[in-house]
Amino acid sequence: MTRLVLVLLSVMGLGMAHASDERAIVTFVDEHNAEGIALLEKAVNINSGTMNHAGVRAVGQLFRTEFDALGFTTTWVDGAPFQRAGHLVADHPGPGPRILLIGHLDTVFEADSPFQKFERVDANTAKGPGIIDMKGGDVVIIQALKALKSTGALASMNVIVVMTGDEEEAGTPRDKAREALLNAAKGAEYAIGFEDGDGVVSHAVTARRGTESWTLTVKSATGHSSQIFTPEMGNGAIFDAAKILNSFREQLAGQAHLTFNPGAIVGGTTTGFDHATAAGKAFGKTNVVAAETVVTGDMRALTLEQFATTRETMTAIVKAANSKTTQAAIVFGGGYPPLAPAPGNDALLAVYNTASEDLGLGTVTAVSPDRAGAADVSFIATEVKNVIDAVGLKGHDDHSPAETADLTSLAVQAKRAAVTLLRLSRK
């Protein structure tokens, strides 16, 4: 028998083994789907609003037990240095390419929310706080890894999972809050986030816009209102702030993927604004020219370059507004970095899509980045070159008391994820 024939037979045998593993994955997920839904119900019934630190830790312990049973080395990263509960990290070293899976434990529903429990709507639908954002995604991760373990494939895989405890309201300082995630990303070839995205089962995310806050402060000469618009008095702080805001709109509005929004404005003779509570107060009389105005807002952009050019334009507009009667300044604050479009992201989605099509689960395409909000996956975008997100449990109305899951998507997403991980590990 020639060497070429031996090689071909070896390749054919390997291909048959791979196909057998994938069929076994599908069978396992279907046979254990009810267990996945039961785990989801347990997780949803534990309140884990971001500031309910005990609840976040409890959900972390629930999932930690699952990872321990799968043979992962688990660690709880204490959140005290960044004023949050902490993060769950589960590591499974192996010889294959390093793959980072990302979830989060917290929800927007705090302990005093009336929306607290998992509730069946019908056989295929359930409501609950955080059911799709993103406890459902966490369960997809666990179900996929269980399926891989059942075939023996997990034993040789190199997977690390990070489930943050403060995705909905990141702790401060931000570098401390995302240190564990960034450490996990070091050396990773692939990263997959399990957010719910736009809720469409045929969509994933390859690009997300980032966010950044800004604060505009305007101070002006003040005095009797009869003297407004004179060279000595000027326009007053409120008019000057309005002029600056309108210049932002005229010079920046309409750019692809860019938005900027003044969310609050406070002006008068005296003002005060508390950034921690996003609340302000002002005092002023109708016959006195406003002396101070504070405006807070955010901007969203798709690339770091777009953020930089937007900051430059806004700063130039503010600087040009200064005069002998007006002192204006703008400062830019923290936010989330973007997940910029990248060839590696498209390539990873292609692997995921092929797995879905091969399983008979349909085509998966990328959703517009304008419909993809900020998420933890963006923090590792400059560290990992192949990234996709929003492959978790699907549904609708997340962040509201109507948050609802399509339970049929649990098995679909677990199968897609497991086969994708299997194929990536064997590349």
pLDDT by residue (tens digit) across 137-163? 999 999 999 999 999 999 999 999 999
Q: Which stretches of 221-303 are assigned E, i.e. beta strand?
A: 259-268, 270-274, 279-283, 292-301
Question: d(Cα 427, Cα 417) in Å, to the nearest integer?
Answer: 15
Is the domain of 178 the same as that of 216?
A: no
**Domain coverage including residue 321:** 210-336
pLDDT at 274: 86
Is the domain of 301 the same as that of 377?
A: no
Is the domain of 130 the same as that of 201?
A: yes
Examine the fold and report which residue of 314, 336, 358 is the final residue of a domain before the chain moves on.
336
Is the domain of 53 the same as that of 195?
A: yes
Examine the fold and report which residue of 287, 304, 336 is the final residue of a domain before the chain moves on.
336
pLDDT at 17: 55
334 versus 303: which is more confidently predicted?
A: 303
Tens digit of each residue's pLDDT (9 = 90 or more) over 253-292: 999 999 999 999 999 999 998 887 888 999 999 999 999 9
Is the domain of 240 the same as that of 220?
A: yes
Tens digit of each residue's pLDDT (9 = 90 or more) over 339-383: 999 999 999 999 999 999 999 999 999 999 998 878 899 999 999
Q: How many CB atoms lie within 10 A of CB 274?
A: 9
Local confidence band at 6 (pLDDT 50, 70, 90 cut-offs): very low
**With contact defined as beta carbons under 8 Å apart, do 381 and 337 qualify?**
yes
Tens digit of each residue's pLDDT (9 = 90 or more) over 166-181: 999 999 999 999 999 9
**With contact defined as beta carbons under 8 Å apart, do 103 and 138 qualify?**
yes
* CA nearest to 168, candidates 176, 160, 177: 177
* CA nearest to 109, candidates 137, 90, 91, 133: 133
Tens digit of each residue's pLDDT (9 = 90 or more) over 190-226: 999 999 999 999 999 999 999 999 999 999 999 999 9
Question: How far, in Å, are 221, 264, 422 from residue 269 at the CA level?
Answer: 10, 17, 65
Residue 424 three-state SS: helix
pTM confidence score: 0.88
Examine the fold and report which residue of 301, 319, 336 is the final residue of a domain before the chain moves on.
336
The structural domain count of the chain equals 2
**With contact defined as beta carbons under 8 Å apart, do 410 and 36 qualify?**
yes
Residues ≥6 apart with Cβ < 8 Å to 252: 258, 260, 310, 313, 314
Residue 1 has pLDDT above 60, yes or no: no
Q: Is 276 exposed, middle or buried (0-12, 13-18, 19+ CB in 10 A)?
A: exposed
**With contact defined as beta carbons under 8 Å apart, do 175 and 85 qualify?**
no
Tens digit of each residue's pLDDT (9 = 90 or more) over 390-408: 999 999 999 999 999 999 9
Mean pLDDT on 37-65: 98
Residue 63 has pLDDT above 60, yes or no: yes
Residues in the chain: 427
Residue 232 has pLDDT above 50, yes or no: yes
DSSP line for 127-148: E-TTIIIIIHHHHHHHHHHHHH
Is the domain of 234 the same as that of 196?
A: no
- Which DSSP category does 397 fall into? -
Identify the CATH number of the domain in which residue 396 sits. Answer: 3.40.630.10
Q: How many CB atoms lie within 10 A of CB 384?
A: 24
Is the domain of 35 the same as that of 181?
A: yes
Is the domain of 31 the same as that of 122?
A: yes
pLDDT at 335: 85
Identify the CATH number of the domain in which residue 286 sits. Answer: 3.30.70.360
Q: What is the mean pLDDT of the chain?
A: 94
For the chain, the C-alpha Rg in angstroms (whole number) is 26
Is the domain of 412 the same as that of 305?
A: no
* CA nearest to 330, candidates 282, 298, 374: 298
pLDDT at 10: 40
Is the domain of 215 the same as that of 315?
A: yes
Mean pLDDT on 316-328: 97
Q: Is 83 left (phi over 0), alpha (psi -120 to 50) or beta?
A: left
Residue 312 three-state SS: helix
**With contact defined as beta carbons under 8 Å apart, do 121 and 396 qualify?**
no
DSSP line for 151-179: HTGGGG--EEEEEES-SSS--SSHHHHTH
Local confidence band at 4 (pLDDT 50, 70, 90 cut-offs): very low
Q: How many CB atoms lie within 10 A of CB 5?
A: 9
Residue 9 has pLDDT above 60, yes or no: no
The backbone torsions φ and ψ at residue 337, rounded to the nearest 5 degrees and listed phi first, read: -70, 165
Q: How many CB atoms lie within 10 A of CB 208?
A: 31
Cα angle for residues 50, 55, 61 (degrees, 5° grid): 115
Residue 13 has pLDDT above 50, yes or no: no
Residue 62 has pLDDT above 90, yes or no: yes
Local confidence band at 108 (pLDDT 50, 70, 90 cut-offs): very high
pLDDT at 181: 98
pLDDT at 14: 44
Is the domain of 265 the same as that of 374?
A: no
Is the domain of 148 the same as that of 200?
A: yes
